[in-house]
Chain A
Amino acid sequence: MSETILTVVLGLSQLCLIAAMLLAAMRLLRGPRAQDRVLSLDALYVCGMLLLVVTGMRVGSAYLFEGALVIGAFGFVSTVALSKFLLRGEVIE
C-alpha cells in the first residue's frame, strides 16, 4: 500500500518538476532582458536540484543527494557571479 502511494506521488512530483524546468527554460529562451535570463537560470537549477532529490528518493539511493548538494552550492555562486557582472561589468574587481 505505502509502496503504491509513494510510487505514484514521487512519479507525479517528478513530472511537476520537469514541467517547472521546461517553463523556466522557456523564460530563459524568451526573457526580454539579461536579468530575466539570470533569474530563470536560478529557477532552473533549483528545479533540477529538487528533481535529483526526488529521483534519489524514488530509486532509494543516497548518492544522488550529493549531486544535489553540489548543484545547490555552484548554482548560488554562478548566479551571484552573473548578477555582479550585470551590476558592474566585471566579476572580480
Chain B
Amino acid sequence: MSSHLAAVPLWAAIVISVLVAVGSGLTLLGAVGLVRLSSFYDRIHAPTLGTSWGTAGIMLGSALMFTLTGDRLVIHELVVGGLMMITTPVTLMILGRAALSRDGGARPSRAGKPAPLQPEPAADTVDEPPVQAG
C-alpha cells in the first residue's frame, strides 16, 4: 500500500494512534451527547469535547506524522487548533445569548441566583427571529 505510513517509526506510530483515537473518540462522544441530552442548555456543552481535545489530539497527531515523514518541522496544524480553541467560546457564547433572549430573556438576578429557565416551547412555531424594535 502507501509507503509514507511505513516510514513512520514504531514509537511514533503508537503515539500518533493514541492521539488520533482519543481525538476522534471524543468527537464521537460529543456528537452522541448532542443527540441524547434533553435541553438546549445541556446540549450546548456537548460539542465542545470535539472542539477542545478532539481537535487538539488530531492536529497534534497530524503535525507529528508530517514532521516525521517530511524531513522538516511541520507545525501549521497548530494554526487550525488555535483557531478552534479561540473561536469556539466566542461562537457558543453568542449562540447561548441568542437562545436566552429567544427564551424570554432569563438573566441571572442581582442576588446571584440564576432565574429559573422557562420550559422549552414544544413546537417549531416560534422559529421566526424577533421583530426589530424601533
Contact = CB atoms under 8 A, between A and B. Distances in A.
A39 B21 contact: no
B111 interface: no
Contacts of A9: 16-17, 20-21
A19 B132 contact: no
A42 B66 CA distance: 28
Nearest to B47: A43
A42 B92 CA distance: 9
A84 B34 CA distance: 22
A61 to B, nearest CB: 9
Question: DSSP class of A's interface residues: helix, strand, loop or mixed?
Answer: helix
A74 B124 CA distance: 27
B101 to A, nearest CB: 6
Interface in B16-38: 16-17, 20-21, 23-25, 27-28, 30-32, 34-35
Interface string B73-116: 01011011001100100111011011101100000000000000
B30 A20 contact: yes
A53 to B, nearest CB: 5
B113 to A, nearest CB: 24
Interface in A18-51: 19-21, 23-24, 26-27, 32-36, 38-40, 42-43, 46-47, 49-50
Interface of B: 1-2, 4-6, 8-10, 12-14, 16-17, 20-21, 23-25, 27-28, 30-32, 34-35, 40, 43-44, 46-47, 50-51, 54-55, 58-59, 61-62, 65-66, 69-70, 74, 76-77, 79-80, 83-84, 87, 90-92, 94-95, 97-99, 101-102, 120-124, 126-127, 129-132
Interface of A: 1-3, 5-7, 9-10, 12-14, 16-17, 19-21, 23-24, 26-27, 32-36, 38-40, 42-43, 46-47, 49-50, 53-54, 56-60, 62, 65, 68-69, 72-73, 76, 79-80, 83-90
